[in-house]
Structure 1
Amino acid sequence: MASQWIMVLSLLVMWVIPQGSLAADEDPLQDFCVKDTTQQIHVNGFPCKDAAQVQASDFVSTVVKNPGNTSNGLGVAVTAANALTFGGLNTLGVSLARIDFAKNGLNPPHVHPRATELLYLSQGTLVVGFVTSTPENKLFAQTITAGELFVFPRGLVHFQLSTGDGTALAFSSFNSQNQGTSQVAKALFTSSPPIDDAVLEKSLQLSAADVTRLRSLIKKT
C-alpha cells in the first residue's frame, strides 16, 4: 500500500512541476520558425519561413542598437525587439526592449498582458514600481541605479521614472515573443472607438470638461 501511495505522489509531482515551469508562450515544436512576411495567414503567432530559405542573418538584428528619440512629452523612447520587428524570435518565447530616458523621462503606467518583464539598468537612476491586483492595490517601488535589476510581474501596472542628473538607459527582457503593451492612460482616453464619457466620468469621478481635456492632452503625448 505504501509503495502505491509513493507511486501516486510521484506521478502528481511529475504533473505539477512542468505546469508551474511553463513560460508565457507555448513551447516551440521545431528548432526555429523565422517569421515569413510574405504570407497573410492569421495564426497565434506568425507562419514560418521555409527552413531551406533561412539564413544566419535571420537571427541577427540591429533593432536596439541605436538610441531612441526621447524628444516627446514623456521624455522616453521604447524600442522593441520582438517577433514583430525581429522575425528570428518567432516561436522562441523571448523578446527584449531598449528604453531610453531623457532627464526626468517617464515610461508611464502600463501593462504587458503576455509577459513578465526583467529590467536591467545600464545607465542613470530610475524609480521603478508596480501595483498588485485588487483588493490590496499595493505599490512596490524602488530606486535603482546602473547595474541593478528589477522585475515586473506579468499583467501588473508598472512604470519607470528617470530621477538622475542626466539621461538613463535600460534594457528589458520578456518571456514572450510579443509581450504586448497597453498604456493605462491611452487605453482609457484614446481608445478607438472611444469609451463613453459617462463611463470615465463615473469611474474616475471626473467632470465632463475634465474628460474632454484629458482626451486631448493624452492624445498629444
Structure 2
Amino acid sequence: MELSDIRRDYTRGGLRRHDLPEQPEALFDKWLKQAIEANLTDPTAMTVATVDASGQPYQRIVLLKHFDKDGFVFYTNLGSRKAGQLEANSKISLHFPWHAIERQVHITGTAEKLSKLEVMKYFSSRPKESQIAAWASKQSSRLSARQALEGKFMELKQKFAQGEVPLPTFWGGYRVKVSSIEFWQGGENRLHDRFLFTREGEGELWSVDRLAP
C-alpha cells in the first residue's frame, strides 16, 4: 500500500462556537477527562517543542503533570537538551495528539522554572525507582552502552536502599504560561473544526477565532 493511500474519515462530531467556554482551560479539562475515559494510551502525553540557538526546532514526548489557569506543568532534568534550550529561549509549544477521539490541542507560550518547593513536592510523590532513575540518568548526554546506565541505576539503588531519595540539584520543572490554545476537532470531508484562543494582555481575557481547516 502506498503511504498516500492511507486515510480515514473523521465522523465523531464537530465543535461549534456555542460549545466554547469563556476560559480555554475549561474546555481542555473536559477534553482531557474524555480522553482518559476513552482509555487512550498515555492521555497526558504531549509533544514539547523547543528551539536551539541556531533556530533548529526539537521535539520530544513529555507527560503533563498539572494544569490550571496559571499554566501547564512538566518536570525534567535541568541538564537536558530541552532545559538548555529553554534557558536561552523560553518560548515553547505543546501538542496533545488524541487521534483516537479525533482531537488535537496545540499550545504556545513561555516556560518558567518551578519553585524548589513545587519540585520537591512532586519529586517526593514519585515511585522510589523513578526517583533513583532521575539520579542515574544524565539526560541527553552520550552513553557508551546501556549497561553503563543500568549499572549506575543499580549502584544508586543500593546506596538509597534505606531511607528517602534526596532531590537532585539538577532536577526540576517548568510551568508553561499560555499565550494561545488551539482546539482541533476532526470533521467529515476534511472540514475540521479549529478554534484558536489567544490571550489578550496579561489577564484572563481571550479572543477566539475560527480557523480554516
Q: TM-score, normalised by structure 2?
A: 0.24
Larger radius of gyration: 1
Higher helix content, 1 or 2: 2
Higher strand content, 1 or 2: 2
Task: Tell me which of the two structures has the higher relative contact order, counting C-alpha pairs closer than 8 angstroms and 6 or more residues apart.
Answer: 2
Q: TM-score, normalised by structure 1?
A: 0.24
